[in-house]
Amino acid sequence: MCRNDGIPAIAHHRRVALAQHNVVSRSQLLELGVASTTITEKVARGEWVRLAPGISATHEHTSDEPTLDVKAQPRRFHGHITLEDPVRLGAKAGEIAEFIVAQLAKHAGTDVTVTVEIEATSAEGFAEDTIRAVTENATTLKFDTHGFEVS
């Protein structure tokens, strides 16, 4: 599609994209005469990246201008595991440390936090000696929070 000045709409969008670090809105593209189907097709082919609803990165650049890398990279990992055999906690913790934590921690600038959550219920209730031992051990091991409750 051409605008009234005879220049293809796609050429006008390049000028706008370059001025805005390759980020353009759908409404800007439509105002410049770029067809809605062209926008959809370029995003579908990966030529443009949808950053948010109605906002795309176009990857347009000239050889003398630096470009903004807009490829979205995952920046956070999270995982949760329920141990079927809590008695094997030591072995499983070693596997988690080796195969997950070490892989994440090897990247410079990565902050890794491992949180251990323990939940135990007893139909009959816990004995006083168990309550005392677990409470003292949790304190010694510097648990952030711990406690027993009646439920």
Residue 133 has pLDDT above 90, yes or no: yes
Please write down the long-range contacts of 87-95, taking CB distance under 8 Å and 24 or more positions apart: none
Of 118 and 14, the structure prediction assigns the larger pLDDT to: 118
**How far is 9 from 34, CA to CA, in rounded Å?**
5
Give the residue, 132 or 13, on which the prediction is more confident. 132
What are the CA-CA distances from residue 53 to residues 18, 35, 50 (Å)?
20, 17, 7
pLDDT given at position 140: 94
Task: Give the residue-averaged pLDDT of 107-129.
Answer: 91
Looking at the structure, tell me whether residues 69 and 81 fall in a common domain. no
102 and 138 within one domain: no
Considering the domain architecture, whether residues 123 and 96 belong to the same structural domain is answered as no
CA distances from 138 to 36, 62, 69, 142 (A): 61, 61, 47, 6
Question: Do residue 90 and residue 34 come from a single domain?
Answer: no
State the total domains in the chain. 3
In the prediction, which pLDDT does 1 show? 45
Regarding whether 64 and 11 lie in a shared domain, the answer is yes
C-alpha distances in Å from residue 117, one per residue of 15, 54, 83: 54, 41, 11
Same domain, 48 and 93: no
Given a contact cutoff of 8 angstroms between Cβ atoms, the answer to whether 13 and 34 are in contact is yes
Question: For residue 126, what are the domain limits?
Answer: 118-151
Domain shared by 3 and 55, yes or no = yes
Does residue 131 register a pLDDT over 80?
A: yes
Write out pLDDT tens, residues 77-112. Answer: 889 888 888 888 888 899 889 988 898 888 888 889
Do both 5 and 65 map to the same domain?
yes
70-74, 91-95, 107-111, 128-132, range with the lowest pLDDT: 70-74
Q: Which of 17, 52, 73 is the last residue of a domain?
A: 73
Same domain for 11 and 60?
Answer: yes
> Are 67 and 7 in a shared domain?
yes
48, two tokens:
């443009």
3 has a pLDDT exceeding 70: no
Half-sphere exposure of 146 (CA within 13 A, CB side): 17
| In the predicted structure, residue 123 carries a pLDDT above the cut 50 | yes
Please write down the HEC assignment for all residues of 126-138. Answer: CCHHHHHHHHHHH
Q: Are residues 47 and 20 in the same domain?
A: yes
Residues 83 and 141 in one domain: no
